[in-house]
Amino acid sequence: MLTIILDWIYMLFTCFSLGFFFAWVVEKVFHYSIRQLDSVLAAGLIMATVYAETFSLFYRVNIEANVILSVACIAICAVLRKEIRKFLTESIGSLSRPRRIMIPLLFVLWSYFASRCYYRALDMDLYYGQSIRWIEEYGVVKGLGNLHCRFGYNSSVFALSALYSLRFLLGRSIHAVNGFIPFILCFSLLDLGKAFHRKRMFLSDYARVAAIYYLTIICDEVVAPSSDYAVMCFVFFIVIKWLTLLEEERGQENIAPYALLCVVSVYALTLKLSAGFILLLTIKPACMLLREKRWKETGIYIALGLLVAVPWITRTVLITGWLLYPFSGLDLFQVDWKIDTGMVMQDEYLIKIWAKYANTLADTSLKSWLPHWFRNGLSSTERLLVLADLGSCMAAAVLAVSVVIRKQWQKLDYLLAVAAIACSYLYWQFEAPLIRYGYAYVLLLAALVGGFFLEKFKIRNMAYFALLLYGAYKFYICCDYVIAYRTGPYYIWSETYDHYELESYEIDGETFYYSPYEWVTGYDPFPSAPTKADLELRGEDMRDGFRQRK
């Protein structure tokens, strides 16, 4: 836990420095001020990710990357010291007393959660650890996906985890990023208290309730450097910020906040490909920019989106030979390290079978898998949520028709947010409905549509009472977890990867390890994979990459 806190202090420094520099540039270019501390930190986190991914294209993400990053952040603080001092003074000074208590408390609480776990995702020792280790040791390696298909699942969070693992300093890899992201999200969630003062719930408040529910579910899982938790938290962040902008009528004259949130949506896509439908939000700023013929700004926003996406796409192509993996529909590259088409299609289908609780491809018809998945793949609460979501999709469609008929165009922006979440939910539901892949869509869809009708028909007292009961219950669950795992030996060092008995073999003189059970391998020894691969090196050593043996 102490090592995580130290790591987070370093993350706070670097992310704030990068984020503040970005906010300073935005103010100069777009004349829009980013004043929320969580927005600055989120911007810095995205910049750190892009930096780590870009660095990995040329060299390992280790001590060298951190030295350059630290020097750059120190330089930013030195040059912008007056602006930073003013920003921090205003930000801290504007905090209410409850917030001044809650923010440090949440910082310690999430470091506690990130140091130990009740449930650790199996993929942590299956391929997360090794994926991060490859970035720490070599950066990007051509054809790495040939060693095992899971290494082709290129998430930008792995590069970020490698940057902040501090293995060079601590002698072991610290996986603390997935605890830091929920901490940033909590800044926005504290605004839920305003609902009690105004005696009215906004739509963004219902999104906050959904986010709090999600965080109480993953608090015992964030020890794993998974892409699922990171992308779900950023989906909540985007939707809450979007709705808050609409409700407060800030940014109505300025396109910048909406366009910048769309850039964050591109970042969510790099965390996990299934977040692609959140990009529907780009419709609003695109229409505004085109209507006003602001071609220069349009070009800048497109460039920002490409800046976020291109390093991730480049890494995917170098690792797999495919533009998007595992998606066999875009076969654009003919390179010698390319993963075989048949393997890509098999991997694509296996994901669907696994998520749908099906046994074979023949069982993936809707009539076959849906009842089995509903009975065996969900808890009782999750079944209720899915039923509520299916009803919400129909209600949202009726609402959209009503808005068009009545010409209530002021509601289109809200409908756009609901449509983005509804499309994300439907894609998740019918493609790969493993609950952890799409928990944000499951919760947000029901929360937003349900919240709209609760406010429309003014059923508020019941909503507030339910919210208080819900909050008390979740607070009890959280306290119970903290107490139950207080005796774990993780107050200095956090819980780390497990060790397994592996066997070794050679590829062109290089030693590799694999599991005799075709199962988990952990972080050490390196390099290892769940299965033994029939490959050859593309050059003299592993830096040159791998390809299928001819």
What is residue 443's predicted lDDT score, i.e. its pLDDT?
Answer: 95
Residue 377 and residue 261 in one domain: no
Q: Which of 256, 102, 268, 111 is nearest to 192 (CA)?
A: 102
Residue 393 and residue 325 in one domain: no
Residue 261 and residue 223 in one domain: yes
Lowest-pLDDT range of 247-256, 371-380, 515-524: 247-256
What is residue 251's predicted lDDT score, i.e. its pLDDT?
Answer: 45
Lowest-pLDDT range of 149-153, 225-229, 287-291, 329-333: 329-333
Residue 178 and residue 229 in one domain: yes
Residue 278 pLDDT level (bands cut at 50, 70, 90)? very high
Residue 252 pLDDT level (bands cut at 50, 70, 90)? low
Q: Is the distance from CB of 50 to CB of 311 less than 8 angstroms?
A: yes
Residue 264 and residue 304 in one domain: yes
Cα separation, 248 vs 257, whole angstroms? 13
Q: Average of pLDDT values for 388-398?
A: 92
Residue 164 pLDDT level (bands cut at 50, 70, 90)? very high
Q: Average of pLDDT values for 269-285?
A: 93
pTM (predicted TM-score): 0.94
Provide the number of structural domains found in the chain: 2
CA distances from 237 to 143, 158, 267, 356, 440 (A): 34, 20, 12, 28, 10
Per-residue H/E/C for 75-92 = HHHHHCHHHHHHHHHHHH
Residue 213 and residue 323 in one domain: yes
What is residue 452's predicted lDDT score, i.e. its pLDDT?
Answer: 84
pLDDT reading at 457 higher than 90: no
Q: Which domain covers residue 220, as residue numbers? A: 2-339
Cα separation, 398 vs 259, whole angstroms? 28
pLDDT reading at 119 higher than 60: no
Per-residue H/E/C for 194-256 = HHHHHCCCCHHHHHHHHHHHHHHHHCCCCCCCCHHHHHHHHHHHHHHHHHHHHHHCCCCCCCH
Which of 339, 355, 385 terminates a domain? The answer is: 339
Q: Average of pLDDT values for 244-267?
A: 85
300 is a domain residue: yes
Residue 375 and residue 320 in one domain: no
pLDDT reading at 57 higher than 80: yes
Kindly state the percentage of the chain with pLDDT values over 70. Answer: 95
Residue 335 and residue 367 in one domain: no
274 is a domain residue: yes
Q: Which of 470, 488, 467, 504 is nearest to 200 (CA)?
A: 467
407 is a domain residue: yes
pLDDT reading at 250 higher than 60: no
Residue 367 and residue 334 in one domain: no
498 is a domain residue: no
523 is a domain residue: no
Which of 482, 500, 518 terminates a domain? The answer is: 482
Q: Average of pLDDT values for 522-535?
A: 90
What is residue 19's predicted lDDT score, i.e. its pLDDT?
Answer: 97
356 is a domain residue: no
Residue 192 pLDDT level (bands cut at 50, 70, 90)? confident
320 is a domain residue: yes
Residue 316 and residue 379 in one domain: no
> Which position has the higher pLDDT, 467 or 206?
206
Per-residue pLDDT tens for 462-519? Answer: 666 777 777 777 778 778 777 877 777 888 888 888 888 899 999 988 999 999 988 8
388 is a domain residue: yes
pLDDT averaged over every residue in the chain? 89
Residue 226 and residue 258 in one domain: yes
Per-residue H/E/C for 492-506 = CCCCCCCCCCCEEEE
Residue 292 and residue 408 in one domain: no
What is residue 266's predicted lDDT score, i.e. its pLDDT?
Answer: 97
Query: Mean pLDDT highest for which of 63-67, 452-456, 487-491?
Result: 63-67
> Which position has the higher pLDDT, 169 or 75?
75
Task: Locate 474 and state its tokens.
Answer: 């979740």
Which of 482, 511, 533 terminates a domain? The answer is: 482
Q: Is the dihedral of CA 237, 238, 239, 244 positive or negative?
A: positive
